[in-house]
Structures are given as structure tokens and as C-alpha cells.
A and B are shown apart, each in its own frame.
Chain A
Amino acid sequence: MKTMRPATEGELAELVAGANAPLRIVGGGTRMIGEAEGEVVSSTGMTGVTLHEPGALTLVVKAGTPVREVAEVLKGEGQRLAFEPMDHRRLLGTEGEPTIGGVVAANVSGPRRVQAGACRDFLLGVRFVDGTGQVVKNGGRVMKNVTGYDLVKLMAGSHGTLGILTELSFKVLAIPEAEVTLVAHGLDAEAGVKALSDALGSPFDVSGAAHLGDGTAGAARTQVRIEGLESSVTYRKGRLAELLPGFEAVEGAESAALWDEVRDVLPFAGAEGAVWRVSVKPSDGPRLCRALEAEGVAHKAMLDWGGGLVWLLVESGGDAGAFQIRAQVARLGGHATLVRGRPEGVPVFQPETPALAALARGLRQRYDPRGILNPGLMG
């Protein structure tokens, strides 16, 4: 099927207004979660940095711009996207270039989410084309803005079902001088998450807290990251070492590699099986794993966000553990997304309560009355 690649927002608006069949919206096509039907509309014709103002910590960029290019532009001024977006390519075995619009459409946020916030927290403004072909803007490029409703948050994570993103503005932050990771091996999930919790509850500004279960990436590994000014990192490293006996410090590139592994879920990259991404409160991470073990759902687990983001690798047979995982998550409070290996009939996203589903349906109906934007993807 041919891919339509409008070069401007205006062209895109015309295309959508004139469409009479479902459209499947893609960025770089590296994160095919779920299967929307339709003619493919790619944002990759709309690229480029519109504005980068390092002294105001702001970046405005077209949605189809590759994440790599965004990172390079920012790096030139010693800055970065602080929410550390995941690159899905190795986990999903996809090719192509992830786009910044795709990152926003799925609200993709990495290990630093525990400290700095998610993609949606750094997103200051959006422009998008809704399902009727109308161009809409919301927010802007300033860090504090409560002028009207916050559609910026609504668009982040809406997976192209409410509109097609065309331009985005972000708050960006400086790349810190130094980073150090404190690592321990051999802890079980409960002890690992307890250590993460102690670290995150300390005054030492932890910017990453993950536990890789036994057999996920060798022996169980628990890791805590601090970043900042050189002298401050040295100080906090010492204080955290007192708080976390048995943890050893790893610095520089070696430290960074540990977090790339977590951010991109590399331990599950080459492995057989379905991959779930589960969000629960941190102390429920180990509880979820134990409950699944008790129910005979064999899995490997990597816990990020202090224990609250659980990546599960399960056997892909049957429903890939969907019934038990979703039931446990519903009991604990949270949600589970099937990121890789979907058996027939298993919904990608956690089913919502009727009242929530009605609101979501209502919003989609208003923004896309003909139901042509990624139909069926979110419900």
C-alpha cells in the first residue's frame, strides 16, 4: 500500500479533510503497537527544528523530525530531552528512524521519568490536524501556561486517535556534568525495590532506579543513578553508598550503558516471547511478579521507575498471560500494555471501566467524528 507523506501541515489538513477511508498514522514506523487499518499517512515529510532557544530551555520542532536529529541539535548546545525516550527498534526488531511525533503520540518516557517527569511533563505545546482536517493549536512555548484546557496532555499518549501531530514544543534541560550509578547484584525483587525506595526517598535526587530480575541480564541487578554537577555527584555518591550497603559505584560511559539497557529493554530484545509493559505503584512491582509466579505465569521481569514500571517477558503461547496479568493489574491498580507478540483477540491496552471508556469514546467522536484516525487502536 502506498504511503502518503505530506510536506506541510496545510497539505496534511487537506489530505485528512478529503479522506473518505480510515488512515493509519505513522512516524518512523519503529513502534508498531496494535494494528490500525487504513491508508498509511506518515509524518516524516514534516521535519526540522523551528526554534531552539537554549537560554529559555525551549525547542520547537516539526513532528516528523527524527529523534536522532533532535538529540544532535540539542547536544550542540549541551542540552537534551530530559525524559529519556526509549528507542523501540531492538526490542521490536523494527527498522527506520523514530520520530519526535511518534515519541509524543505514545508518551514514551525512560528511566529518568521517576525524577524529571514523563514526555507529557516536558511537552509545552502542540499543533495537530484533527479528524475533520482542522488545524488546532494548544499550549505554547512557555514553561507555565494555564490558558484554557490542557490539550497538550491529552494529545500526548493519544496514539494518533484524536489528531495527527504536526509541531511540538518542549522544555529541554542541560546535559549534566557527571553521572554515577550504584549497582548491587543478587538481590531478590522485594529487597531490590526496597533499596530503590530508600534511594528515591532520600534527599540525594536519584534520577534512575531499576531492578533487573534474575536471569534477565545475568544475575539479578539493582541500580540507582545520580546526575549533576561534578562535586555534587561525588558527594551524593558517598551518602548513597552509606544508605545502600553492598552497592558499588560505576561511572561515565559504563554507567550510561547500564541505563541504555533499561531504557530500551535490551534484555528482552533477542529473546523469544511476548513483552508486557505494566504500570503499578512501585511496591506492587514485586507483588505482581509473585502473584504471577503463584498462578503459573512463567516470566522474566525488569522493574524500572523504582519498581513501578514492570517489563515482563512471557511465553507467547495461549493468550500470552493476558488474563492473569490484566486481572492482577486491575486488582493492584494500574494498567498493562502488550508491546510485542499479540495473540488474536487480546487487546493491546488495558480495558477501561465503562465510565472512562465512555469519556474516551466521546472525545474521539468529537475530534474525529468520521472515525478515520487509527480506528480501533485505542478502543
Chain B
Amino acid sequence: MQMPEPNATVLSARDRLLARLREVLPEEAVISDPAETRAYECDALTAYRCPPLAAVLPGTTEEVSAVLRICHEAGVPVVPRGAGTSLAGGSLPTADCVVLGVSRMTEVLETNYADRYIRVQTGRTNLSVTGAVEENDFFYAPDPSSQLACAIAGNVAMNSGGAHCLKYGVTTNNLLGVTMVLMDGTVLDLGGAHLDAGGLDLLGLVCGSEGQLGVVTEATLRILRKPEGARPVLIGFDANETAGACVSDIIRSGILPVAIEFMDRPCIEACEAFAHAGYPMCEALLIVEVEGSEGEIADQLQRIVAIAETHKPVALREAGDADEAARIWLGRKSAFGAMGQINDYMCLDGTIPVSSLPEVLRRMGELSRQYGLGVANVFHAGDGNMHPLILYNANEPGQLELCEELGAEILKLCVEVGGCLTGEHGVGVEKRELMLHQYAPADLEAQMAVKDVFDPGWLLNPAKVFPLASSEARRMAAE
């Protein structure tokens, strides 16, 4: 992974920078000891590491503003960091950068049930947002699988999704407003507690901008009343094509399941070996979950089973109670852990039109054989968001590179059939160089023009999202 050369001027002025940061932050909020900055050297894309010049942990929007103003004046790159769970290297530092972590900013600022929103500081974890409103039977809908650890700051930066977005949408559909700080220290409010922000939709633009436009310190999030109940059905098929056709038939029937999860044979086998969930051995498994009252659930499951039966399933298991529901989910929820037990893996998240599912799975199988690396698939089928896990051995020289090559081929395939490189993880550094497979230079130019406006000096998370060669002139001009 190529990263820009650290700026020598910045490196040589380190002590002066630290002194200035300590003027505006409490002593313990400025981390510069190399033994401690190492904790910020990578995120969940652990293959790439680089300790930053320093890490700072401001406690308020004002402190964030003060830090950014100092870094802006000194021309120091800043890498914003939520909880460090990015799978795409979204918060990978460079040696000349200050990592700005929001982990001390975890307060709930306001809860309003009548108007159905919560306002939080963005260091708060995704799951603890729901935790704050759960006793009143409300929840925050986006549920990335890292939700126990990941921060709202990162959710906003990456426009995170989750298993339940078929019904509830992703972060951008549940975000009403933010307080953010621009690189020059300007504090802005976008949106608020009302449903549509005025003027240009800058809120929609900032969500998913991978921390390149500003540091989001507070977020107003839509909360929803919990459904009365939820229950899944497990359906097995003897071919991926059949499972794919069944997914299409379900979503066009008018039933809106809250989740449709798809597992292929390699994944089913790994889950069985690890979690013993009692899954049937077949080519493809669907887990379809619906919500509502007992009667509503029964009606929807009955309709889904009727649709499935037209596709001649080889297995069909309806959860009768909470225990059976838990067992159906057990394998799926332990899929990543199961894979981790048997191998190192790289997890991609290319998204495809649901209709291309069978073709993509077939061609992925061919690529897998060609590269000699196993690929298991477990993904959100209802919205076409795939999660191919490429299995490799990190200790064997050359395997990581081979795995990355195969990953790139798979993502190009997703784009070729009308899909995209990433459905919910973000581009980060991982898929940066693949952007020209999805977008023409003019398309990227239009995106980079947005960064020019928000961060003319290209100091915020600069070496991410865009191919290094595409952004080079801008980054150089800024130095």
C-alpha cells in the first residue's frame, strides 16, 4: 500500500506543534509517546500500519475546533478516527499526521420521544445509542456488525449500513443533523431535528465523505419505536440461481422483510464446523426475517414459504419461538468468527443488482479456482450487498498480495454487472486505486471539487478515497 511521503517540514516542527496542542487540550488528551501512539497505528484493516505524529482526544466541539485551527495553520494533516473499526483503512495514519479521536465524546445531549430523535456526541458507540432509548422501546436502526464497538462518528463518515437496512435504510436515511468542524476550525450546523434540511443537501454530502470534509462532533439521529416482534425462516436451495430467484420474488411481492441473508456452501460448511447451528448442507441458504405482531409475522412467513416452495427448496425451517430463532441466526452471526478460526480472510463488500447474483457467484467461483484461494459468501441479499470473504494465509509470503489481486478482480466484476465497489465499508485506502474502474476521471473530478471547497488545503484524511495519482496535484499544491 503506497502512502504519500511524510512532509519533512511537519516532522521537524513536531515539538512546537505538540506544545501548541497542549495549550488548548488537557495534558492527557495529547498523546505523543511512541509507545502510546502505536495504539492508533491502524484500524480494523490491520495489514497496514503507521504510527501517527501524535494523537489527540478532544472532549468538546470547541476543543476539536481549536485542534483543527492549529493543524490548519501549521499545514499538518489530520486523520479523524471514530472507534477504529474501519475495514477499509479509513483511519490509517501517516507519519506526519495528527490522529483526532472522538472517543472521549460520548454524551447523550438530548432525547426527544415526541419528535423521535436523539442528539449525541459522535464518540458514542452505535449500540449504546439504542441502549439510551431502549427502556422506552425505541431503537436506532442502522446496525453495522461492529455495532458494539463502532462510533457514530465513523458511521456518519462511512454512511454505515447493516443487516436491517433493507427495511430501515442506512445511516444517511436516519441522520437528521450534525454539528461539524471544518479543517480551518469553523463550526457548522447542518440540518437539525426537522426532516429536511434547507438549501443544498450538505448533510447528505457529508455523510459518507470518509472524514475528508470535516470532523462531525454531534449528530441528531432518528429513533424508531421497536416492532412488536421479529422471527426468521431458514430456506435451503440446491443452487445459487434458485436462491437468487427466490430473493427477487420475495422483495417484489410486497412483503418487506427486515433482512434477507444469503450464505453459500463454503460459508455454510465453515459455520457448521464452528458453530454447529444445525444448518442443512446445501448450495445456498437464505435467512429471511420479518417483523410485527404474532399474527403479522405468521402471515408474512406463510407468504414467504409459499413463494419459496415454488422454487423447490431442499430445506425449510420456520422459527416457532425465540429459541429456534436464535439458533437460525447463530450460524450467520458466527460466520465471520468461524472464518477467522480456519483462516486469515479479507472481507469485501461490493454491491450488485440482485438479478446478477447467480452470475456473479458463478464467476466468483471461477476466479477463486484460478487464484487458488477459497472464497466464501455471506451477505445481505435483499439489497445486493455481497460480502465475499477471501481466505488466505498471512504467514505465507505473497499470499496477501495474491488475495488483494483476487479481491480487485471480484470488485471489478461487481462494477461490470452494474454494481459498485463498496456498499457499506467505504473506500478508505483499500479500494482507493480501484475507483477509476467505477468512475470516469470527470466523475472523480466532480467529487474532488467538493473537497476543494470544504478543505482547500487537502489536509483532512488526504490520501484516502481517490487514487493517489488522481489527487496528487491537489495534495502537492496544498503543501
Contacts and interface: CB of A to CB of B under 8 A. Distances in A.
Interface stretch (A29-37, A113-121, A180-188): A113-121
A107 B196 contact: yes
A218 interface: no
A197 B355 CA distance: 39
B353 A200 contact: no
Interface residues of A, number: 87
A299 interface: no
A56 B165 contact: no
Interface in B159-212: 159, 161, 165-166, 169-170, 172-173, 182, 186, 188-190, 192-205, 207-209
Interface stretch (B74-82, B274-282, B332-340, B450-458): B450-458
Contacts of A281: 112, 115, 117, 192-194
Interface stretch (B19-27, B252-260, B318-326): B252-260
B248 interface: yes
Contact of A157 (B159, B200, B431): B200
A273 B390 CA distance: 64
A322 B469 CA distance: 50
B241 to A, nearest CB: 13
B440 interface: yes
B397 interface: no
Contact of A138 (B138, B161, B443): B443
B446 A142 contact: no
B423 A137 contact: no
A231 B423 contact: no
A8 interface: no
A120 B197 CA distance: 12
A120 B201 CA distance: 9
A206 to B, nearest CB: 10
Contacts of A335: 194, 197-199
**Interface size of B as a range:** 35 or more
B444 A148 contact: yes
B470 to A, nearest CB: 11
Contact of B195 (A118, A158, A235): A118
A119 to B, nearest CB: 10
A143 B209 contact: no
A309 B196 CA distance: 9
B132 to A, nearest CB: 16
A360 B199 contact: yes
B115 A56 contact: no
B293 interface: yes
Nearest to B293: A235
Given A147-B427, A352-B198, A366-B453, A121 B169 contact: yes
A328 B187 CA distance: 23
B419 interface: yes
A130 B447 CA distance: 12
Interface string A348-372: 0110110110011011011100000
Nearest to B298: A231
A121 B173 contact: yes
A367 B200 CA distance: 13
Contact of A279 (B166, B198, B444, B465): B198
Interface stretch (B4-12, B29-37, B57-65, B222-230): B222-230
12 contacts: A77-B252, A143-B166, A143-B384, A144-B161, A147-B435, A150-B159, A151-B450, A156-B204, A229-B300, A305-B195, A334-B198, A352-B198
Given A148-B438, A201-B114, 16 more contacts: A56-B355, A107-B196, A109-B196, A118-B195, A130-B446, A146-B159, A203-B226, A203-B228, A232-B292, A232-B300, A280-B194, A281-B117, A333-B194, A335-B197, A356-B190, A367-B449
Interface of B: 112-117, 137-138, 158-159, 161, 165-166, 169-170, 172-173, 182, 186, 188-190, 192-205, 207-209, 225-228, 248-249, 251-256, 292-293, 295-296, 299-300, 303, 351-355, 380, 383-385, 418-427, 431, 435, 438-440, 442-447, 449-454, 465-466
